[in-house]
């Protein structure tokens, strides 16, 4: 499936921006929350968290960037300052070491520049949900996608010991799998639960028309025949 729909977002409606009546602007304006935002597009809408990335992700990407730069520099220095230019055996070893270090450096730098959070694209025109990660330059990478016909309902799941704070969850048809979307206050998530429930119900009736849709229930591991 093409990811051309991942671009060209429309006007942004943030749930943390209060309107004149003290509520966020937009048709489904919930209570004030700066933990996530909704971006309306011509094909649906994007839901992404605005909370800081977890510390382990930030530290991991920083370490990966440092190691990637060290390996890239070592691969270059191997040819600038190495000896044995006339020895075929040494040249072969240096070539293998360079390829290995360059590959590891590329992998580490890719991880370091990869995005640190997932955005959820609800495509109401195709009837599917996409998980997308954007890198530092804003280029999207499709991580997973689910057909609306494989999603059953949206719910608010309270965080343990956090009062009114909880998660927006999506569940498959039989309730055996769930997808964590964003965390926010109950007042902010409640309108989203209603909107997603309506969109999932309407989109599931159209999903069968599109070959690109892969229902969530089909992604589970099927038991092997005896």
DSSP characters for 116-180? Answer: SSEEEEEETTTTEEEEEEE-TT--EEEEEEEEGGGEEEEEEEEPTTSTTEEEEEEEETTSS-EEE
Looking at every residue in the chain, the average pLDDT score rounds to 74
Q: What is the pLDDT of residue 220?
A: 43
> How far apart, in whole angstroms, are the C-alpha atoms of residue 44 and residue 120?
11
Q: What is the pLDDT of residues 129-181, one digit of tens each?
A: 999 988 877 788 888 888 888 888 888 888 887 778 888 889 888 777 888 89
Q: What is the pLDDT of residues 18-38, one digit of tens each?
A: 333 333 333 344 444 578 888
pLDDT band at 87 (very low <50, low <70, confident <90, very high): low
145, 132 Cβ separation under 8 angstroms: no
> How far apart, in whole angstroms, are the C-alpha atoms of residue 43 and residue 125?
6
Q: What is the pLDDT of residue 10?
A: 41
Q: Which has more confidence, 223 or 98? A: 98
* pLDDT-above-90 percentage for the chain: 9
Q: Which has more confidence, 15 or 175? A: 175
83, 161 Cβ separation under 8 angstroms: no
Q: How many CB atoms lie within 10 A of CB 2?
A: 7
Q: What is the pLDDT of residue 4?
A: 41
Backbone angles phi, psi at 31, to 5 degrees: -65, 170
Q: What is the pLDDT of residue 182?
A: 87
> How far apart, in whole angstroms, are the C-alpha atoms of residue 87 and residue 52?
53
pLDDT band at 45 (very low <50, low <70, confident <90, very high): very high
> Residue 2 pLDDT > 90, yes or no?
no
How far is CA 6 from its chain centroid?
Answer: 12
Q: What is the pLDDT of residue 120?
A: 92
Give me the DSSP letters along 170-223.
Answer: EEETTSS-EEEEEEEEHHHHHHHHHHHHHHHHHHTTTGGG-TT--BGGGGSPPP
> How far apart, in whole angstroms, are the C-alpha atoms of residue 84 and residue 97?
14
Predicted model pTM: 0.61
Q: What is the pLDDT of residues 96-122, one digit of tens each?
A: 888 999 999 999 888 888 777 888 999
Pairing of strands 128-134, 118-123: antiparallel
Identify the architecture of domain 11-53+117-212 in CATH: Roll (2.30)
Residue 161: is it exposed, middle or buried by C-beta count within 10 angstroms (0-12/13-18/19+)? exposed
Q: What is the pLDDT of residue 60?
A: 85
Q: How many CB atoms lie within 10 A of CB 95?
A: 12
């Amino acid at each position: 499936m093409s990811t051309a729909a991942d671009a060209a977002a429309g006007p942004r409606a943030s749930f943390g921006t209060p309107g004149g009546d003290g509520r966020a602007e937009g048709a489904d304006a919930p209570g004030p929350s700066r933990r996530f935002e909704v971006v309306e597009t011509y094909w649906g809408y994007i839901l992404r968290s605005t909370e800081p990335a977890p510390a382990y992700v930030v530290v991991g990407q920083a370490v990966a960037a440092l190691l990637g730069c060290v390996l890239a520099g070592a691969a270059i220095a191997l040819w600038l300052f190495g000896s044995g230019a006339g020895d075929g055996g040494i040249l072969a070893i240096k070539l293998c070491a360079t390829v290995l270090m360059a590959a590891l450096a590329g992998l580490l730098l890719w991880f370091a520049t990869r995005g640190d959070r997932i955005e959820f694209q609800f495509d109401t025109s195709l009837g599917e949900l996409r998980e997308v990660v954007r890198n530092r330059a804003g280029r999207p990478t499709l991580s997973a996608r689910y057909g609306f016909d494989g999603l059953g309902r949206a719910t608010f799941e309270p965080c343990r010991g956090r009062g009114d704070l909880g998660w927006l969850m999506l569940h498959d048809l039989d309730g055996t799998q769930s997808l964590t979307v964003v965390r926010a206050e109950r007042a902010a998530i409640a309108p989203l639960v209603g909107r997603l429930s309506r969109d999932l119900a309407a989109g599931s009736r159209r999903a069968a028309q599109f070959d690109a849709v892969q229902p969530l229930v089909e992604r589970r591991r099927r038991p092997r025949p005896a």
